[in-house]
Structure 1
Amino acid sequence: MTTTAPPPGEPGPDQPPRRFGWSRLPALLRLGPGLRLALAGLLMLELLSYATVLVQPQVVKWLLDSVSRGASFVPALLTLAAVALCSGVLIVTSSYQLGKLGQRMVLGARAGMIDALLRARVSTVQRRPIGDVLSRIGSDTTLLQHALSEALVRGAVAPVVLLATVVLMALSDLTMVLVLLAVVAVGAGVEWLILHRLAKATEAAQAGVGEMLTGLQRVLLAFRTVKAFGTEADEARAVVGQARLACRQGVRAAGWNAVVGGTGWVLMDIMFLTALGMGGARIASGAMSVSDLVAFLLYVTYLRTPSAALTQAASAMSEGLAALARIEQIQHIPAEPDDQDASAEPEPAPADDGVPAGIALDGVWAGYEDQPVLSGVSVHVPRGLTVVTGPSGIGKTTVLNVVERFLELRRGRVLLDGVDIRAFQRGELRRRLAYVEQDAPLLGATIREAVGYGAASPGETELLDVVHAVGLADWVASLPDGLDTAIGERAVAVSGGQRQRLAVARALLRHADVLLLDEATSQLDADSEETLLRTIAEQARVRIVLAVSHRMTVASQADLVIVLDESGVRAAGSHRELLRSDPLYRRLASTGGTR
């Protein structure tokens, strides 16, 4: 597949994702509608659930003091049970709403990427490995959900809860709290140093998954070739090797993640032991009661949850920001110009009276990366059947690409009925064109969906007419389900020739002004090709048909044949004229064409 250089300002597929700092956190909230309001409600639920937890040590202190005074502890016990019940209800509700919000954010991220890809230039999308794109839409968005739950919600609430807990502990014993804060400061510094390595490891792991999927997708698309050449073992080694590399990178990320989590738990154990030792000493000196120490230790124990949440939030956010960078690289792919602001596109200019009706290439220069393919090509394609032929790689398909505006011109212009095609909005231009690409891919689960793709609710009769026109009526009639017969993914249930004819039928259903065919008969036998050529000839009476072909059977039926070579348009004329006048064309005809 030929690739093109990225337009100015657009990142190429091989460039590393842009790194984002923690200041990019608000970008997560722009991944779906209404996320800010829903997040505010979640934060309130989380705060309420933690508040019920923080009340419990004081109720326990009340219970112990009642026991020590010989008073009834039943009121304190019932209060403790009620608080615990409220805490459980709030936690369940918060967790459900958090999962729901996370799914909405994932949907927003995926929808944004899909929309950006479908609006992008053809050359931009074709440069990107399919497996890597699927990895970003699939696994990277899942990381974002984890980042939302751990960072944006629990990570945001955790500092408030920690502060409230510390204040309550300070009311019991300020000296012990200051010592514990010193321990926390040391542990937080260590964790911060680890987080940078975790972010790098996570980014590498996600990139490794993308490379593995790209390799597997390449093998599956050429599965028959792999089988025919007996390279199953070689391909398995290559793809499994990429999987192993992704595994090693994932293990590395898991290791750093474990270090972050372990550091947090060790820190909490040190705090508990410190508080227990200091509290025991203060009870011995009479400076603290047993109930006060129990309440204080409960607060230290409760610190585990917000502290762990804060640690996990830092870890999840490192992973989430790496995923966000890869996601935004897709979301920021520029759309085709008039998709960015259709209202800014100029109205079609008046037709150039000096240019006859049809398609005209006027001094066209176009190419891929730094290699020009068309150099100053000028040619007129009138109504009727025009065939473009020539040696392989000479730019025949490129002619179709510039007409469809899949490829932008470097110089020159392309006119449709005397109007520069750049004066049309792309959607309007492409509604006037019907295109059958070389591989003739079919989109749809059934024959009906494949033929009717892109048409506005075609009727049964209309579908059967175009199927008949391409010589497939008897075949469709012989199928048990007729037009509703499943064709399988990538149309594996139909032959290559049937696939090509169905693609032509799909194009005929558009009733476009121009029919563009790229090797549309390359997989047909002689009888099928003859039937299809009759249909193409009929279409050429009422519209422009521009066909790229190396087959002389197609060229012999053309009203005009254009021969391309390295210098551009080498010759133009009828099949018979070119056989007499052009040596290259005679050579192509004698060999049956060129591929």
Structure 2
Amino acid sequence: MKYYRRFLPFLKPYLPRMLAAAGLVAVVALINLVLIRLVGRLWDVVTVQRNETEMNHLLALFLLLVLAQGIFSVGHGYLAAWISQHLTADFRRHVFRHLQSLSLGFFAKRRTGELLSRLMNDIGVIQNIATDTPIDLAKQAVTLIGGIAFLLVTNWQLCVLILLLLPALVLVAKFFGRRLKRLSTAIQDRTATLSTIIEEVLSGIRVVKSFVRTSWEEARFAATLNAAVRVALKRAVVMAVFVPTITLLTFAAGAAVLWYGGRQVIQGQVSPGDLFAFVLFAGILIGPFGAAARVFAQIKEAQGAMQRVFEILDTQPEVSDGPDAQDLPPVRGQMRLQHVSFQYDSRQVILHDVSLEANPGEVVALVGPTGAGKTTVINLLHRFYDPSGGAITVDGHDLRHVRLDSWYRQVALVPQETVLFGGTILDNIRYGREDATEADVLAASEAALADEFITRLPDGYQTVVGEKGVNLSGGQRQRIAIARAILKNPRVLLLDEATSALDTESERLVQQALDRLMAGRTTFVVAHRLTTVQKAHRIIVLDKGAVVESGTHAELIERRGLYHYLATLRQTEDELRSA
């Protein structure tokens, strides 16, 4: 029950409305009990007393009670739906907010489809048990207590006969409950895998089609789907046996009641109307018992869903504001890495004793072979990760001792793979600064050389870019990303292979836009293009996670070390591209 206790704080704001809804449904259940008793009385008035006047009075009262029951049912239905939707929305917002607080390392180890399944499917399972079930329990409690009270007053022997069924019900529910929990958790795991496959295929549909892998993906999806169906059928079999078993035990008691009560009517000890009402009361007790079995199954299913959701909520960000974190004042851009080491896990060291410096307004290029640690340095500078050893400072402030938001507002990243959101071009550029005016956006676009192609589009800045900017070319997407960074107006700029995936003409335009963006800002550049590297004030050469060379282009060429080899190789590649 620990997960349910942890969920209680989310229920607390809705408790008054839940109590009101429970009160309304309890009144509905109480009226239902009165109606059943009234039916028994009518039976005697019609078949035994044959009193027409009394019959008319009882029928009028019956109709009034039915009307009142309908009014209370409407109120309960609306309140229950209101609580369910708002509570679920609140919980999803909480989980979504927590997901965004987690560090990059968490998402590097998780698949998007799995997280999506937990956020949507699992919370949907929790929704029923958290809202509908407690309110419904009020109805079942009134039905059970009121029904048993009437049965005890009417004929305590018959009531005891019915209550003897309870231990059998508990044992049956416990037996089936373990299996239901295990199978329900397995179904949720299969659903998460299906969501992951769908997300991967749809987001990578071009690659799937290009490599003629549609049949393979269909087979993969079908295999996972069949596995989910098999588990769901196993659960259906358990439920198919579980519910009839409960029902059989309950109706067995009903048959015993009819046998024992029928003998009493024949002997004149009980009136036919009382027996009729007694049988109806015994019948409605099937409702609470059946509901108890159904709720037990739902609880077991929800336990698996809660476990998966709270596993996310229990994950703490690896990079977060410490208790002594202070807001970072506006910086000049003096960046230092002091004996920095880093590893994503204990099995492989990525950086070892890296030290480098960038003065305000300088451009520092990071070069080296694949796997040298260049992108890792960029991630550490942005503070997506914290170093395992050493320190990174900006204007003398250790990044681990400043608030993340205050640093993120002063740094901008332009990665190799541009990320655009599925809105308009205007929305994507304004993502750099929410309060920016259209004039600000236009100025940033002109500086990024994006305005010239945007204005040629039929809808201009209102053009919808499509998912991940699919409706635009690579160079256009990159220039929009640069405009977004210009609008943010950062003091420190991080460029991670921002032109490597572009053709020559697009690269020329993007490079011009980057030159405007870098002006006056401390910039770290990861680039394969020799033309980009040559302009840097300082070049840091990395190899196997360590700094092996440092200096200007001319100095490093003269040393004829690793940089000379890489520069010569890339110069040949650039010449071939130009040809």
Q: Which shifted more, 585-594 or 136-145?
A: 585-594
Consecutive unaligned residues of structure 2, counting only runs of 5 or more, are 574-579
Identify the match of residue 589 of structure 1 among 567, 570, 577. 567
Alignment match, 1:568: 546
CA contact 2:341–2:350 (8 Å) conserved in 1: yes
Deviations 1:386-413 (A, max 9, x none): 1101111111011111111111111100
Aligned match for 1:42, one of 9, 18, 21: 21
Residue from 382, 387, 390 that aligns with 2:368: 390
Q: TM-score, normalised by structure 1?
A: 0.90
**Distance in 2 between the 1:209 and 1:71 partners?**
63
Task: Give the alignment of 1:316-335 within 5 angstroms.
Answer: 316-335=298-317
- Distance, in Å, in 2 between the alignment partners of 1:508 and 1:309 is 61
Q: 1:29 to 1:359 in 2, by over 3 A?
A: same
Listed one character per residue, the Cα deviations across residues 489-516 of structure 1 (whole Å, up to 9, x for unaligned) are 1110011222122112211111111111
Give, in whole Å, the separation in 2 of the partners of 1:424 and 1:26: 35
Distance in 2 of aligned mates of 1:227 and 1:304: 56
1:207 aligns with 2:189: yes
Pick from 253, 273, 290 the counterpart of residue 271 of structure 1: 253
**Residue in 1 aligned with 2:336?**
360
Shift of 1:571: 0.8
Partner of 2:37: 58
1:64-108 CA-partner distances (Å, limit 9, x unpaired): 332312323111122222222222322232222212211112112
2:402 maps to which residue?
A: 424
Query: Do 2:364 and 2:524's aligned partners in 1 also have CA atoms closer than 8 Å?
Result: yes
Q: How do 1:359-378 and structure 2 match up within 5 A?
A: 359-370=335-346, 371-378=348-355
Residue 258 of structure 1 and its aligned partner are, at CA, apart by: 3.2
Distance of 2:502 and 2:319 partners within structure 1: 38
8 Å Cα contact 1:519/1:549 also seen in 2: yes
More off after superposition, 248-257 vs 542-551: 248-257
Q: Give the C-alpha shift of residue 435 in structure 1.
A: 0.9
Greater shift in the superposed pair: 177-186 or 88-97: 88-97
Greater shift after overlay, 154-163 or 279-288? 154-163
Partner Cα distance (2:289, 2:208) in 1: 53
* Cross-structure match for 2:97: 115
Deviations 1:427-459 (A, max 9, x none): 111111011123110135111111111303323
Q: 1:406 aligns with which of 384, 387, 390?
A: 384
Deviation at residue 332 of structure 1 after TM alignment: 2.9
Distance change >3 Å, CA 283–CA 357, structure 1 → 2:
closer
User: Could you tell me which amino acid in structure 2 is paired with residue 556 of structure 1?
Assistant: Q
Name the % identity.
27
Residue identity matched to 1:457: D
**1:40/1:27 Cα in 2 relative to 1: closer, same or farther (>3 Å)?**
farther
| 2:462 equivalent to 1:503 | no
- Residues 327, 402 of structure 2: 8 Å contact kept: yes
Structure-2 residue corresponding to 1:141:
123
Aligned 8 A contact 2:21 2:76 in 1: yes
Q: 1:183 Cα deviation (Å)?
A: 2.3
Alignment length (residue pairs): 567
Alignment correspondent of 2:420: 442
What is the CA–CA distance in structure 1 between the aligned matches of 2:143 and 2:3, rounded to whole Å? 24
In structure 1, the partner of 2:285 is 303
In the alignment, the residues of structure 2 paired with residue 349 and residue 88 of structure 1 have an alpha-carbon distance, to the nearest angstrom, of 63
Q: Secondary structure at the match of 1:334?
A: coil
Query: Would you say the 8 A contact 2:414–2:485 is kept in 1?
Result: yes
Establish whether residue 288 from structure 1 lines up as the match of residue 264 from structure 2: no
Partner of residue 69, structure 1: 49
Q: CA deviation at 1:277?
A: 1.0
Answer whether contact 2:448 2:516 (CA < 8 A) is retained. no
Which residue matches 2:325? 345
Match of 2:576 in 1: none
Q: Distance in 1 between matches of 2:164 and 2:94?
A: 45
Tell me the equivalent position of 1:474.
Answer: 452
8 Å CA contact retained: 2:372, 2:545: no
Instruction: Describe how 1:446-461 pairs up with structure 2 within 5 A.
Output: 446-461=424-439
Deviation at 1:26, TM superposition (A): 4.2
Aligned counterpart for 1:536 among listed residues 497, 510, 514: 514
Change (3 A) 1:108 1:75: same
RMSD of aligned alpha carbons: 2.3
Cα pair distance change 1:261/1:375, threshold 3 Å: same
Which segment is superposed worse, 524-533 or 228-237?
A: 524-533
Give the superposition deviation at 1:205: 0.3
SS across alignment from 1:378: strand
Q: Please name the residue that 1:106 is paired with.
A: 88
- Which AA in structure 2 matches 1:367? Q
Partner Cα separation in structure 2 for residue 439 and residue 173 of structure 1 = 78
In structure 2, relative to structure 1, the CA distance for the partners of 1:536 and 1:71 (3 Å cut) is closer
Does residue 555 in structure 1 map to residue 527 in structure 2?
Answer: no
Contact 2:353 2:546 in 1 (8 A): yes
Query: In the aligned structure 2, how far is the partner of 1:70 from the partner of 1:460?
Result: 85
Residues 348 and 27 (structure 1), Cα distance of their counterparts in 2 relative to 1, 3 Å cut: closer
How far off its partner does 1:331 sit?
2.6
| Aligned partners of 1:32 and 1:109 also within 8 Å | no
Q: Distance in 2 between matches of 1:329 and 1:506?
A: 35
Paired residues of 1:364 and 1:410 also in contact (CA < 8 A): yes
What is the one-letter code of the residue matched to 2:451? A
The answer on whether the counterparts of 1:272 and 1:300 sit within 8 Å (CA) in structure 2 is yes
2:497 paired residue among 481, 501, 519: 519
Render the CA deviation track for 1:230-260: whole Å, top value 9, x for unaligned.
1111111112211221222222223323333
Deviations 1:296-347 (CA, angstroms, capped at 9, x unpaired): 00101221322222222212222122212222222333246655x7x74246
The 5 A counterparts of 1:247-262 are 247-262=229-244
Task: Name the SS of the counterpart of 1:369 in structure 2.
Answer: coil
Partners of 2:193 and 2:563 in 1: CA distance: 44
2:361 paired with 1:379: no
Amino acid of the structure 2 residue aligned with 1:224 = R
Supply the distance in 1 between the matched residues of 2:519 and 2:143 (Cα, whole angstroms).
78
Question: Conserved in 2, the CA contact under 8 Å of 1:387 and 1:549?
Answer: yes
Structure 1 151/259 Cα, relative in aligned 2: closer, same or farther at 3 Å? Answer: farther
Give the drift of 1:358.
2.0
Distance 1:479 1:350 in 2: 38
Q: 1:286 to 1:344 in 2, by over 3 A?
A: farther
- Where structure 1 has 5 or more consecutive residues not aligned to the other structure, the ranges are 1-20
What's the secondary structure of 1:512's corresponding residue? Answer: coil
Contact 2:147 2:281 in 1 (8 A): yes
Q: Which residue type is aligned with residue 151 of structure 1? A: T
Distance change in 2, residues 1:310/1:174 (3 Å):
same
- Find 2:202's aligned residue among 220, 232, 235: 220
CA distance 1:175–1:321, shift in 2 (3 Å): same
1:147/1:319 contact within 8 Å kept = no
Asked if the contact 2:350–2:545 (Cα under 8 Å) also holds between the matched residues in 1, the reply is no
- One-letter code aligned to 1:140: D
Letter in 2 for 1:54: L
Q: Distance in 2 between matches of 1:226 and 1:460?
A: 39
Give the secondary structure class of the aligned counterpart of 1:95.
helix
Normalising by structure 2, we get a TM-score of 0.92
**Secondary structure of 1:31 counterpart:** helix
Following the alignment from structure 1 to structure 2, what is the Cα–Cα distance between the partners of residues 567 and 77?
89
Contact 1:151 1:310 in 2 (8 A): no
Structure 2: distance between partners of 1:499 and 1:579:
34
